[in-house]
Amino acid sequence: MAVHPVRFSCAALAAAGLFAVASLSTGAPDRAATTTPPGTSMEKKPVSLATITRQEQALQFTSFDNDAALAIGNRIVEQAKADKVAVTVDVSVNRNPLFFHAMAGTSPNNADWIRRKSNLVNRTGHASFWVHTQAVERGQDFDNLPTFDSKDYAAHGGSFPIVVKGTGQIGTITVSGLAGVDDHAMVVRALKWYLKADDVPL
């Protein structure tokens, strides 16, 4: 997968054949046509806010460039193939996509989930699953959070901040296609691999 320094619209990607034809629907579940195989889903294993906070603190970079985006993006695609699931992956810095790949079985709907989840991370500075989990713990409706229009923000797992130590957040790594908790876990697994952070909990 080549690294692209320029932004591509969903329409342009669709025209290039990178998306399967499907209607956009922000209200649909964040899932691709292929679902998580039995036994691999984290749906029944709650992830605490403290665990996600630890992930955010531990999975930070000393530097980040196009090569890092390519390596992490490819790793996520490899993980998805090994798990026999289909996802769309985006790695963006300053809202500029350095890596984008939509696997067979995904649709433009997944690209819209990526847009909305990464918008949430860019606004809050937290992983989208952190915001989701905080809302659940507070008894809030994570699909109707105050000041977050659901057309542009999605408090579902799968988008993680790219933080460079001494600089702060510079971008996002986002996965769409599975349940939010599994999208989130896929990003964390790739970051643990890239940063050699085996002690970070999932």
- pLDDT tens for residues 43-57? 456 899 999 999 999
> What pLDDT does 46 receive?
82
Closest of 165, 182, 184 to residue 174, by C-alpha: 184
- pLDDT tens for residues 13-35? 333 333 333 333 333 446 543 34
> What pLDDT does 45 receive?
66
> What pLDDT does 69 receive?
98
Considering only residues 102 and 9, tell me which one the structure prediction assigns the higher pLDDT: 102
Q: Where are the alpha helices (DSSP H) in 63-179?
A: 66-83, 108-124, 128-137
Considering only residues 57 and 11, tell me which one the structure prediction assigns the higher pLDDT: 57
- CA gyration radius, the chain: 15
Q: Give the chain's mean pLDDT.
A: 84
Considering only residues 186 and 26, tell me which one the structure prediction assigns the higher pLDDT: 186
Contacts from 187-196 at CB under 8 Å and sequence distance 24+?
187/76, 187/158, 187/159, 187/160, 188/55, 188/59, 188/160, 189/79, 190/72, 190/75, 190/76, 190/79, 191/59, 191/72, 191/160, 192/59, 193/75, 194/68, 194/71, 194/72, 194/75, 195/58, 195/59, 195/61
- pLDDT tens for residues 114-157? 999 999 999 999 999 999 999 999 999 999 999 999 999 999 99
- pLDDT tens for residues 69-122? 999 999 999 999 999 999 999 999 999 999 999 999 999 999 999 999 999 999
φ/ψ of residue 172, rounded to 5:
-145, 150
- Residue 120 tokens read as 């949430």
> What pLDDT does 61 receive?
98
> What pLDDT does 18 receive?
37
Closest of 31, 41, 75, 49 to residue 173, by C-alpha: 75
